[in-house]
Amino acid sequence: MDAAAAKSNTEEKKSKGTNSSKRRRFNGEADDDEAEEEEEQCDMEVWETLRKSFRQVQSVLDQNRALIQQANDNHQSRVQDNLVKNVDLIRQINAASYCAGQDR
């Protein structure tokens, strides 16, 4: 094969390769769109899960804040009965924290 024929043959192969890659890209667009939709759906599910988890965590934090405030008030009062109540309050705080850690 002479140089001109080889060059022509190479250009023809490049042209076919370009067309087939265009076809792949065209056919792949549907796949890309589906993948994007699946990814967006997954992102929405992840955000929803995070939002629910943050609500649960915030609830535990709010409960603990109230229990800690009560324990502080009891401690500052220095009344014997209130100090005894702190034992139960501290157990409740620890239990809430422990249970929250178990959900992970």
Is the pLDDT score of 21 beyond 50?
A: no
Rounded Cα distance between 97 and 63, Å, is: 10
Average pLDDT of 74-101? 89
Average pLDDT of 45-68? 94
Which range among 21-30, 48-57, 81-90 shows the weakest confidence by mean pLDDT?
21-30
DSSP state of 79: -
Rounded Cα distance between 104 and 100, Å, is: 8
Is the pLDDT score of 1 beyond 70?
A: no
Is the pLDDT score of 64 beyond 80?
A: yes
